[in-house]
Amino acid sequence: MNIKKSTKKLLTLALLSLSSTNLIAQNPYLPLWEYIPDGEPYVFEDPDKPGEYRVYVYGSHDSLIENYCGREQVVWSASVNDLKNWRYDGVIFESFIGPDGRPLNFDSKGDVLYAPDVTMKIGKDGKKEYYLYPNDQNGGRNGLIAKSDRPDGPFKVTNWSKNNPTTADGVLQFDPAVFVDDDGRVYGYWGFETSYCAEFDPNTMATVKPGTEIKKQMISGRFDDGIFSFFEASSMRKILDKYVFIYSRFTKEGEFGMPSSNYTLAYAYSDNPMGPFTYGGTIIDGRGIEKDANGKAFATATVDGNTHGSICEINGQWYVFYHRQCGLDEYSRQAMVAPITVKVEKGKGGKVSISQGEYTSEGFQLEGLNPLHRTAAGWACYYTGPKPGTHDWPKHGFFGSYVEATRIADPAKQSYSQNALVCPVVNNTDGSTVGYKYFNLNKLNKKQNYSLLVNLLPEGVDGTVKVLLGAPSEAKGAKVIGQFELKSNMPKQATRISVPLSGWQTFKGKQPLFFVFESNTKDKSMCQLYDFIFE
């Protein structure tokens, strides 16, 4: 196996971008140097602009680099009227000082914080209150909650135990989700391989309502009989009169023609917030499954991993928010989004139908990527090699192309545009294919001639790179619209190659574009791919 070593190091690529266009809307929809998994999206009123609304994404922060998550939780947001520009709203919570002012841990380091959730309720004074459930899995702080009068924080813990200043009074544990119903009743959900739910005391927002009990196995778990196969990542939404539970599902062996995986989000629905639930189906599958000429299913992206997220309606359009795996392990996860459709049959027993989102490079650019804007290589949604990749938790293995997980030296000083050239596509060996779905070719003038200006780093291997439009191979109907040669004696430095294009005029609308790598030298990378643009 020829697996290129991941750098996993802090770096700044001192390369000029091909365009200064500030686009943060594609997949991943946040800057490539930012790693926000487990994203829970909510539309809240902008506290600084009453009457206007923003979508806020609350997630973990993969800043530990060599393990899951980080010791801080941050939030990003965007106006519901401008989903192409996301704003970093800063750190909203850390857990390192107890109510007595002393460090919670002997080393004075903060707790590692995992997949959070946020909910809003109207307080007794009529003001909006926001509650953060930071998923602090350190000892007796599992049920920790924090409160703020703003959706962007900062949040302050409200449920410290009166008997022990290092623990919290609450029952929530792994991957918490909390939901406030229209009647003011509060419900909590959590679990790992076994699902739990309970009605909460609205006065504490953290403890079980007196006279009620915790319900175990709300839906069937990974090792239970039944189709639900709950794994983790609880999330609850109410749509009209239906309660929709989104979660990470462990698929069955052979399901979808693939090995078992927890790289999917599924949903279940009910007339009651605590069930019984009906299984709905898959909302997103991070493997990007397609079928070959013989009808055999295969992954077109990282073959396995975890994912976590939920659904959100923004200006009448529904989206599924999730995360993808990046690099050679599960510790650099990036925020992703896909449009979906949601249909609800009102009334008792009514059905909820949610379409499965497609794993693409588009993100919020629903009309397709603009070919006249710079495309970062790391936005690739399709990367395959001469043999399928592997997954041996927590490691990913690749025989061909993949998106490298890189970090910048100081994110605080970085522009929030996508012009920081991180996360190149690397290990581009013979038999590799790298793809982008989809480009809006209507942005091009068919009366003009175009070239593709490709920014890459040659790695000392002779080979040919073909540019295909419409499909990943000629056997599937693709048209080769250009190609270029890489030579072993080319300097190993950032190089721009202008590739004349022809034949693209026969295509219109949204089309996928692919790079196909060919070489007589097997198992060695031909180049690192940074970005490209039509000119």
pLDDT value at position 390? 97
Task: Please report the beta strands in 361-444, taking only residues with DSSP state E, as ranges in sequence order.
Answer: 375-376, 382-384, 390-392, 395-397, 402-403, 425-426, 433-440
Mean per-residue pLDDT over the chain, rounded: 92
pLDDT of residue 307: 97
Q: Using pLDDT thresholds of 50, 70 and 90, give the confidence band for residue 158.
A: very high
In which band, very low, low, confident or very high, does the pLDDT at 108 lie, cut at 50, 70 and 90? confident
pLDDT the model gives residue 1: 38
Residue 49 — φ and ψ, nearest 5°? -140, 75
Please give the radius of gyration of the chain, using alpha carbons only, rounded to the nearest integer. 24
Dmax over CA atoms of the chain, in Å, equals 77
Query: What letter does residue 328 receive in the DSSP assignment?
Result: T
pLDDT at 123: 85
**Which 3 state secondary structure label does DSSP give 419?**
coil
Beta bridge partners of 335: 323
pLDDT in tens, 506-517: 999 999 999 999
* Dihedrals phi, psi of 396, to nearest 5 degrees: -105, 140
pLDDT, residue 17, reads 35
List, in sequence order, the alpha helices (H) in 334-448.
none
- DSSP structure class, residue 241: T
Residue 8 has what pLDDT? 32
Measure the CA–CA gap between 282 and 38, rounded to whole angstroms. Answer: 17
Q: Is the pLDDT of residue 68 over 90?
A: yes
Taking residues 111-125, report their average pLDDT.
Answer: 94
pLDDT for 180 beyond 60? yes
Give the Cα-Cα-Cα angle 230, 60, 308 (nearest 5 degrees). 25
Tell me: pLDDT of 411 over 80.
no
> Which range is least confidently modeled, 87-101, 241-255, 400-414, 519-533?
400-414
Q: What is the 3-state secondary structure (H, E, C) of 242-275?
A: EEEEEEEECCCCCHHHCCCCCCEEEEEEECCCCC
Instruction: Please give the average per-residue pLDDT across 280-293, as a whole number.
Output: 96
Length of the chain: 535
Looking up tokens 């703003």, which residue turns up?
Answer: 150
For residues 274-280, average pLDDT: 97
Q: What is the pLDDT of residue 414?
A: 59
Q: What is the pLDDT of residues 478-493, one digit of tens each?
A: 999 999 999 999 999 9
Strand ranges, E, within 255-350? 264-270, 278-285, 289-291, 297-299, 310-314, 317-324, 334-340, 342-344
Strands (E), 4-114: 40-45, 53-58, 72-79, 87-94
**Average pLDDT for 345-352:** 97
Residue type, 180: V
Q: What percentage of the chain reaches a pLDDT higher than 90?
A: 86
pLDDT average, residue stretch 138-148: 90
Average pLDDT over residues 138-166: 92
C-alpha neighbours within 13 Å on the C-beta side of residue 406: 21
Is the pLDDT at 423 greater than 90? The verdict is: yes
Q: What are the C-alpha distances in Å from 478 to residues 288, 474, 513, 527, 535?
A: 19, 4, 9, 23, 22
Q: What percent of the chain has pLDDT over 70?
A: 93
pLDDT > 90? residue 139: no
pLDDT in tens, 363-384: 999 999 999 999 999 999 999 9
pLDDT band at 412 (very low <50, low <70, confident <90, very high): low
Which is higher by pLDDT, 432 or 7? 432
pLDDT of residue 6: 36
Residue 498 pLDDT exceeds 60: yes
- What confidence score (pLDDT) does residue 165 get? 85
Would you state the pLDDT for residue 124? Answer: 85
Q: Residue 148: which of 161, 139, 157, 140 has the closest Cα? A: 157
- Determine the Cα–Cα distance for residues 77 and 218; give it in Å rounded to an integer: 32
pLDDT, residue 310, reads: 98
- pLDDT at residue 408, rounded to an integer: 79
What one-character DSSP code corresponds to residue 429? -
Which tokens sit at 482? 């250009």
Residue 232 zone, left/alpha/beta (φ > 0; ψ -120 to 50; rest)? beta
Q: How confident is the model at residue 419 (pLDDT cuts 50, 70, 90)?
A: low
* Distance of alpha carbon 323 from alpha carbon 335, whole angstroms: 5
38-56: per-residue pLDDT in tens?
999 999 999 999 999 999 9
pLDDT at 19 over 80: no
Going by pLDDT thresholds of 50, 70 and 90, the confidence category of residue 140 is confident
The pair of three-digit structure tokens given for residue 143, joined into one six-digit string: 């049920």
Q: CB–CB of 455/419 below 8 Å? A: no
Pairing state between β 215-216 and 195-200: antiparallel
Determine the Cα–Cα distance for residues 454 and 527; give it in Å rounded to an integer. 11
517-533 pLDDT, tens digit each: 999 999 999 999 999 99
Model confidence at 295: pLDDT above 70? yes
Cα–Cα distance for residue pair 225/387, rounded to 1 Å: 34
Give the residue, 70 or 419, on which the prediction is more confident.
70
Q: Which of 22-36, 122-136, 215-229, 313-327 shows the lowest mean pLDDT across its residues?
A: 22-36
CA dist 375 → 58, 421, 487, 499, 531 (Å): 26, 10, 24, 15, 6
State residue 373's pLDDT score. Answer: 94
